[in-house]
Amino acid sequence: MKQYLVEPESKIKLSKVDPNATDGFKGGKKTGLAKLEKLNGKLEVLQELLFAEHQHKVLVILQAMDTGGKDGVIRRVFNGVNPAGVRVASFKAPTPEELKHNYLWRIRKQVPNQGEMVIFNRSHYEDVLVVRVHNLVPPEVWSKRFKQINKFERTLAENGTTILKFYLHIDLDEQKERLQARLDDSAKHWKFRLGDLEERKLWPDYMQAYEDVLSKTSTAYAPWYIIPANHKWFRDLVISSVLVDTLEGLKMKYPESEENLEGVVIE
């Protein structure tokens, strides 16, 4: 999965990354879904091991444009994991209380504890994306946040947090289809906002902002992955593969029993 990894200090141009890519995956969607099911099983076991060992912390960050598939990833990639050890934190527009504090204040409260996996649906990166595109703070403010975020994530990593960041890359045509699908289905109207159409007009500005995020904040301790996301099955397959490979690399072990169980008989 290294081809999707953003190397530190690399210069990213999203126009050169194909969101339709499946990279010649043999067997197509049917085979991909079968492999995804196997990966789901592995992830379920690894997450239980993470929870049982209670030594590591895992933070998964999902960022995307509207309709990019963050909710879909959470539903399908993490299907079957134990909710006792997995938590989703969603970050929308900051509340009045949150605005009284540093932009990282609400983020710090949601980082994982030992044995826990936390999934950020949006994140602190909104404060170098939305605030930049909508001119909510001046450039001299948001531009300093790249280094602040890197420092924040380094501190997490140095204290035992494994960080994986995924940018779900779709194109403008795919977003149009997904927005139209929401509009055509009354059961999905709750997900459709007229404001989404206004945000869509700002696509070039968001792409430039994301390019800076990916170029300036992908580090060895908190890497970004650019995931081709027009094909949902392939998106989920790539993310699952990265997660399983990363968790296997932690070399986790089940803890020994605190008591001597030799000779125990259950009648």
The pTM assigned to this predicted structure is 0.95
Domains recognised in the chain with CATH numbers? 2-248 (3.40.50.300)
Nearest to 96 by CA among 81, 106, 108: 106
Dihedral of CA 155/46/214/131: which sign?
A: negative
- pLDDT > 70: what percent of the chain? 99
Nearest CA among 94, 113, 117 for reference residue 105: 94
Strands 117-121, 161-169: pairing is unpaired
pLDDT in tens, 51-72: 999 999 999 999 999 999 999 9
List pLDDT tens digits, range 93-124.
999 999 999 999 999 999 999 999 999 999 99
**Cα angle, residue 4 at apex, residues 18 and 236 outer, rounded to 5°:** 80
Q: What pLDDT, in 10s, does the model give residues 141-187? A: 999 999 999 999 999 999 999 999 999 999 999 999 999 999 999 99
What pLDDT was estimated at residue 1? 72
The radius of gyration computed from the CA coordinates of the chain, to the nearest angstrom, equals 20
In terms of Cβ atoms closer than 10 Å to its own Cβ (0-12, 13-18, 19+), residue 222 is: buried
Q: What is residue 18's three-state secondary structure? A: coil
Give percent above pLDDT 90 in the chain. Answer: 87
Q: For residue 24, what pLDDT band results from cuts at 50, 70 and 90?
A: low
CA dist 151 and 217 (Å) reads 10
pLDDT(35) > 80? yes
DSSP 44-113: HHHHHHHHHH---EEEEEEEESTTSSHHHHHHHHTTT--TTSEEEEE--SPPHHHHTS-TTHHHHTTS--
240-254, pLDDT tens digit by residue? 999 999 999 999 999
Is residue 98 a contact partner of residue 129, using CB atoms and an 8 Å limit? no
pLDDT band per the 50, 70, 90 thresholds, residue 266: confident
Cα 241 versus chain centre, distance: 13
